[in-house]
């Protein structure tokens, strides 16, 4: 049958031959396409020198040298505790540490303040 012959054989050759021929763009078309491309192209971002980060202050640098915020918090707590220990009398320390023999004598060193004569 002729139709079948065309489909199976001649048509394939016809298509293959047509596939080998293609219209190619003219210079004028390429110029128009490129003109559009350049007209619509976003401008390249300008290169700017990187802004220097502000130099940290003396305290900030000192804090950083000591290990930052958490380290400073620990250091502060230790300082306060040390000062408290320094102000407390030895007896109180004995009481706090469990070595006091008489718990009732809380501030014996202050007795002279209440006695007359």
Partner 1 sequence: MAFDAGGDASDEALMVLYANGDRHAALALARRVTPRVLAYAARLLSGDRAEAEDVAQETMLRLWKIAPGWRQGETKVTTWAYRVATNLCIDRQRARGRKRQLALDDAPEVADSGPGVEGRMQEAGRTAALEAALAELPDRQRQAVVLRHLEGMTNPEIAAIMEIGVEAVESLTARGKRALAAILSGRKEALGYEDDGHAG
Binding to partner 1 (CB under 8 A): which residues in 17-36?
17-19, 21-26, 29-30, 32-34, 36
- Closest CB to partner 1 among residues 37, 51: 37
Binding to partner 1 (CB under 8 A): which residues in 42-71?
42-45
Among 27, 38, 97, 104, binds partner 1 (CB under 8 A): 38
Among 27, 41, 70, 82, binds partner 1 (CB under 8 A): 41
Residue 62 CA to residue 69 CA, distance in Å, equals 11
The contact set with partner 1 (CB under 8 A) reads 2-4, 6-7, 9-11, 13-19, 21-26, 29-30, 32-34, 36-38, 40-45
């Amino acid at each position: 049958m002729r139709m079948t012959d065309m489909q199976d054989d001649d048509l394939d050759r016809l298509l293959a031959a047509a596939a080998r021929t293609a219209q190619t763009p003219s210079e004028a078309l390429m110029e128009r396409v490129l003109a559009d491309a350049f007209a619509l192209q976003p401008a390249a971002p300008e290169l700017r020198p990187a802004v220097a980060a502000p130099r940290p202050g003396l305290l900030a640098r000192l804090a950083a040298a000591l290990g930052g915020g958490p380290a400073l918090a620990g250091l502060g707590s230790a300082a306060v505790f040390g000062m408290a220990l320094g102000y407390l009398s030895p007896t109180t320390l004995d009481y706090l540490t469990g070595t006091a023999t008489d718990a009732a004598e809380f501030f014996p060193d202050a007795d002279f303040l209440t006695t007359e004569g």
